[in-house]
Structure 1
């Protein structure tokens, strides 16, 4: 119990220290109350873990809360108005997380709705395509009761659950194969059909919405989950030419994709026009050097477009320097590695696949967005989990976190019960 409270007090203390160094703007009083509420939820949550005897992974939640506290500090730095809304979502997200962790008695029940998850994913994408509105070149937003919602974030959750149930039921056939194609053995249509149909529909709808960044995340999720479960490099080999073919088609069909690729190849050709965003991002990152300019002293918060969403990492790297940027990467790496650790420890195959899928999803999202803002890949426009401004992303990632730690807690409780039964049997 002491360790839990100490870790949370350190995280909260660092957050308050960061706020004390910033100008809160005209929303000072509202932000102050939201910060107090966030602090109370974090501390009461740690107490709830002790009361309800949480036995799962002790590191994932504090690390995620550290990531979120850092994101909230920088959102206050960049845009106090956005930070105020983000606090609401962060507080609601914590409540949803604890609901998933404690109310969901058996996560294995999620595996009973394989085709329902798939249909839900397709339905959300269809509704978005028909009734959604465009932002950043992609039709990926819906307006519900005056609030902008990004259904793609919820599609990630639905597709992840579909993939976990599908791979659990078809693992052996996917691993061994039933149809011989030369030297290779592949699954038959009955086995591979549902996956191909779901992948085709999802990626096709995302292509129609021009949301190619999310399509890249989904494609990586499909490919890596199949590879992790089957351990067959054949699937990686098949996916590479498909990726190049589809990527080439997207380049030919969509102008904004061609613009992003050209800007990625040479942003200095038009640094005040099309290349302005990535050029300012690189200026901000390079200006941070080793230790940064200091919190609140950088210029990237004012000069980098979309600094509170896509490019928040650039502002962090400028004001905290290379050391701070690497610290953020290490925090994300800890979360991903702990997700894989939870996967390895899970007692049932569905839990193993689902936990691994959550780790793959988080790692893929983080890698793609950070590679985009540092010019390693073309820009994709996806949020950095728990850091970038966005309520839909925040809520979905809290749900994923709740599922992950529910698996971890169930594994620990099951192991403890097995040990008790073993002792009783021995005596």
Structure 2
């Protein structure tokens, strides 16, 4: 218990130190009150973990809380009013996380609703396409009660659950195949049909919304989960031409995709126009050097467009330097690797696939957004989990975190029960 409380106190101390170093006008009292609420939820949550005998992975939640604390401090630094709203979402998200962690009695019941998850994902995308509004060239937002919601974030959760249930049910047929095609064996249409139809429909709707960054993320999730479960390189080889064909069509049909690719190839052709975002991002990152300019001393917070969302990593890298940027990468790497460790330890196949899928999703999101702001890939507009501003993203990632640690806790409790039964039998 002492170790658990101590780690949370250190994390909160880092957050409060960061807030104390900032200078901002307006909303100060409101932000401090929300920070106090956040502090109370974190400490009370760690106490509840002890009271309810949480036995799951001890590292994932503290690492996520470090990531989130950094994100909150930098959002307050960039735009205090945005930081205030993020504190609200973070407090709600933490409460939802603990509800998911403790309220799900048996996570395997989530696998009983395969087609329901698929229909929910498609339904959310259809509603967004019909009633949504455009931002950044993509129709991916809904207004509900005066609050902007991004349904695509909730679609991630629904599709992940659909994939986990589908892959668990059809693993052997997908691994071995029943139809011979030359020297390769592939699954028959009855096995592959639901997966192909769901994938094509979801990706087609995202393309219609012009949300191609999310489409790339979903496609990577589909392919990588299929590969991890079946261990067949054939699926990876088939996925490449399937990816490049729609990618080429998107480049030809959508102007904003064409612009993003052109900017990615050479932002210096128009550094004050189309290339302004990525140029300012690169200037900010390079200006940080090794140890950074210091918290609150960088210029990227005011010069980099969308600094609180798409390009928050650029501001962090400028003010905390290469060391701070690498620290963020290492923290995300720890979360992803621990998710795979949870997958390996899970006692049932559904839990293994679902935990691995969560790790794949988090890793893919992080890779795509960080590659975009550093010019390794075209910009996609995907938020950095637990760091970028966005209530929808924060809530969904807390739900995913709750499911992941629920699997981990159930595995540990099951192992402990088995050991105790073994001892009783030996006695």
- TM bracket, shorter-chain basis: over 0.9
User: 1:145 and 2:122 equivalent?
Assistant: no
| Structure-1 residue corresponding to 2:101 | 101
Task: Name the residue aligned to 1:23.
Answer: 23
Secondary structure at 1:105 match in 2:
coil
Q: Unaligned stretches of 5+ in structure 2?
A: none
5 Å matches for 1:416-427? 416-427=416-427
Equivalence for 2:118: 118
Aligned mates of 1:2, 1:210 — CA distance in 2: 50
1:165 Cα deviation from its structure 2 partner: 0.0
Match of 1:2 in 2: 2
> What is the DSSP-based 3-state SS (H/G/I as helix, E as strand, rest coil) of the residue aligned with 2:203?
helix
For residues 170-213 of structure 1, what are the alpha-carbon distances to aligned partners after superposition, in whole Å with 9 as ceiling and x for unaligned? Answer: 00000000000001100000000000000000000000000000
In 1: Cα distance, 2:291 partner to 2:251 partner: 39
Secondary structure of 2:140's counterpart equals strand
Give 3-state SS (helix, strand or coil) of 2:347's partner.
coil
Q: What corresponds to 2:89 in structure 1?
A: 89
Q: Counterparts in 2 of 1:279-318, with a 5 A limit?
A: 279-318=279-318
Q: What TM-score do you get using the length of structure 2 for normalisation?
A: 1.00
Q: Deviations over 1:130-188 (max 9, x none)?
A: 00000000000000000000000000000000000000000000000000000110000
Aligned residue in 1 for 2:202 = 202
CA distance in 2, matches of 1:89, 1:297: 27
Deviations 1:235-282 (A, max 9, x none): 000000111101001001100000000000000000000000000000
Which residue pairs with 1:65 in the alignment? 65
- Secondary structure, aligned partner of 2:141: strand
Cα deviation for residue 62 of structure 1 reads 0.3
Q: CA deviation at 1:109?
A: 0.3
Provide the aligned C-alpha RMSD in A: 0.3
Q: CA deviation at 1:24?
A: 3.1
Shift of 1:25: 1.8
Separation of aligned partners in 2, 1:24 and 1:165: 48
Aligned partner of 2:42 in structure 1 is: 42
- Looking at structure 2, the residues matched to 249 and 4 of structure 1 have their Cα atoms a distance apart, in angstroms, of 51
What does 1:160-199 correspond to in 2, within 5 Å? 160-199=160-199
CA distance in 2, matches of 1:81, 1:24: 10
In the alignment, is residue 134 of structure 1 matched against residue 160 of structure 2? Answer: no
Large movers: runs of 4+ above 3 Å: none
After TM superposition, the score normalised by the length of structure 1 is 1.00
1:350 equivalent to 2:350? Answer yes
SS at match of 2:382: coil
- Cα distance between partner residues in 2 of 1:63 and 1:317: 19
The answer for the alignment partner of 1:222 in structure 2 is 222
Alpha-carbon separation, structure 1, partners of 2:106 and 2:25? 45
Q: Distance between the aligned counterparts of 1:239 and 1:349, measured in 2?
A: 24
How many Å separate the matches in 2 of 1:205 and 1:23? 44
For residues 315-345 of structure 1, give each alpha carbon's deviation from its aligned partner in whole angstroms, at most 9, with x where no partner exists. Answer: 0000000000000000000000000000000
In structure 2, distance between residues paired with 1:208 and 1:184: 34
Listed one character per residue, the Cα deviations across residues 259-312 of structure 1 (whole Å, up to 9, x for unaligned) are 000000000000000000000000000000000000000000000000000000
Within 1, Cα distance between the matches of 2:94 and 2:176? 42
Which runs of no fewer than 5 residues in structure 1 stay unpaired? none
Q: Who is 1:32 aligned against?
A: 32
Structure 1 SS opposite 2:139: strand
- Distance, in Å, in 1 between the alignment partners of 2:62 and 2:251 is 41
SS in 1 for 2:419: helix
Query: Who is 2:378 aligned against?
Result: 378
1:270 match: 270
After superposition, the C-alpha distances for 1:89-120 in whole angstroms (9 at most, x for unaligned) are 00000000000000110000000000000000
Question: How many aligned positions are there?
Answer: 427
Residue aligning to 2:249:
249
What SS does the aligned partner of 2:180 have? strand
Aligned mates of 2:104, 2:175 — CA distance in 1: 31
Give deviations 1:53-101, integer Å, cap 9, x for gaps.
0000000000000000000000000000001100000000000000000
CA shift, 1:14, in A, is 0.4
Shift of residue 421, structure 1, vs aligned partner: 0.5
1:414 has 2:417 as partner = no
Provide the C-alpha distance between the structure 2 equivalents of 1:25 and 1:374, rounded to a whole number of angstroms. Answer: 31
The equivalent of 1:13 in structure 2 is: 13
What residue is the counterpart of 2:231 in the other structure?
231
Q: How far, CA to CA, are the matches of 2:214 and 2:5 in structure 1? A: 37
Residue of structure 1 equivalent to 2:338: 338
Q: Secondary structure at the match of 1:134?
A: strand
SS where residue 53 of structure 1 aligns?
A: coil
> In the aligned structure 1, how far is the partner of 2:218 from the partner of 2:32?
38
